[in-house]
Amino acid sequence: MNPLIQAMAGHGDTLLAELEAIYRDFHQHPELSMQEVRTATCAADYIEALGYEVTRGVGVTGVVGVLRNGQGSTVMLRADMDALPMAENTDLPYASTVKTKDEDGREVDVAHSCGHDFHVTWLLGAARILAEHRDVWHGTVMVVFQPGEEVGRGASSMVDDWGEGRFPKPDIILGQHVMVGPAGTVSYRPGVILSAGDSLKVRLFGRGSHGSQPQTAIDPVVMAAATVLRLQTIVSREISPLDNAVLTIGSLQAGTKENIIPDEAVIKLNMRTYDEDVREQMLSSIRRICCAECDASNAGRPPEFTTLSSYPLTENDDASTRRVAAAFNAQFGDMTYEAAPASASEDFSIFGRTWQVPYVFWFVGGTDAEVYAQAKKEKQINKIPSNHSPRFAPVIHPTLETGLQAMLTAASVWLCSEHEI
């Protein structure tokens, strides 16, 4: 048996009970991106008590813990901490009722509707096993609790604050995400596993007037409507059907009253791509279409573009992923499989891309296995509440133990090289 999994098994149900309580606590106390003060403090205090060298406030609220255990590889394990500005609608006894102020000062509901509470809990469990069983591994472990994944700023903020020589340079970076899928399963993929994601805000400028005198106005509502329709042709008419891409207009805001033609309209859009050339082509097309529609409307000035967030491709290192896959197959058997690329995006890869270090990212299923099987039989998988749904509610067991086992199994590839894994 894998020595780290054997060490975990030696704790019996005690460790899982402790981690379940931690998970429920995090779920009930979600914090917005770059505001994860309580979560970061809990994580830092926990690993500090285990003997890690802890640095707090890395990239605003990030936490880095280092545990040295002789010669060997340096393995970085990462978990994101932030929650979403949305209300939870799960009816769970530990559901969030938190409200807080966002960066713009607006009061919003807050919920862990993406599963980052699981990610933090898994990493704390792995940190404990590694700290309390140093006899079965060697090398250096670096546990990283990252802020701001949901706004695409957390990984960059930590990298910018990293400093030369402040922390060991990892030989491998490992991360995981709870997703819709049968609980108890783990899925991986060499190469591209998550899309690149770009979100833009586009301001279109018109000329306001009375609704009864449209001839005196340049109507930004019509301009925005035409722009939205035209943007939909990028994927359908400009991108090859052999390439995958998504473009979604998530927000169109203009005006305050039915008989007032406003001065401007604002479009917010999101796009996902799996190839850098396709990404650049789409970004160029978006600008071309928005500018052309403004010209067609005789707008007095060109549109204004603001990048809201930008996530690079998550492209797993091929050789490292195959090593992790072999360990997963040995540990999980037919409960692990190769996944298709997901259209979600992550800033996890920024660490590896910046430092030129290989990384591996994988998925852990969180859906009740019977519920998933029934939905699959009825061809209704898309109706299972997914990440970012107000009804997203991964089952605690076996999701908790599977994620912990997966992280320890992957880490053991570099930390337990002399052991049979």
Q: Is 150 annotated as a binding residue?
A: yes
Instruction: Report how far residue 230's alpha carbon sits from residue 218's, in angstroms, rounded to the nearest whole number.
Output: 19
Count of other CB atoms within 10 angstroms of residue 319: 10
Instruction: Report how far residue 244's alpha carbon sits from residue 201's, in angstroms, rounded to the nearest whole number.
Output: 23
Angle between helices 12-28 and 116-132 (to 10 degrees): 150
Place of tokens 């000062």: 105
Instruction: Report how far residue 269's alpha carbon sits from residue 334's, in angstroms, rounded to the nearest whole number.
Output: 39
How many Cα atoms sit within 13 Å of 174 on the Cβ side? 31
- Which structure tokens are listed for 147? 């802020």
Burial class (CB in 10 A: 0-12, 13-18, 19+), 163: exposed
Q: Is 116 annotated as a binding residue?
A: yes
Phi, psi at residue 336, to the nearest 5°? -125, 150
Instruction: Report how far residue 95's alpha carbon sits from residue 111's, in angstroms, rounded to the nearest whole number.
Output: 8
3-state secondary structure of 186: strand
Q: Which amino acid is at 241?
A: P
- Which structure tokens are listed for 294? 């403004």
3-state secondary structure of 201: strand
Annotated binding-site residues for Mn(2+) read 114, 116, 150, 177
Give the annotated binding-site residues: 114, 116, 150, 177
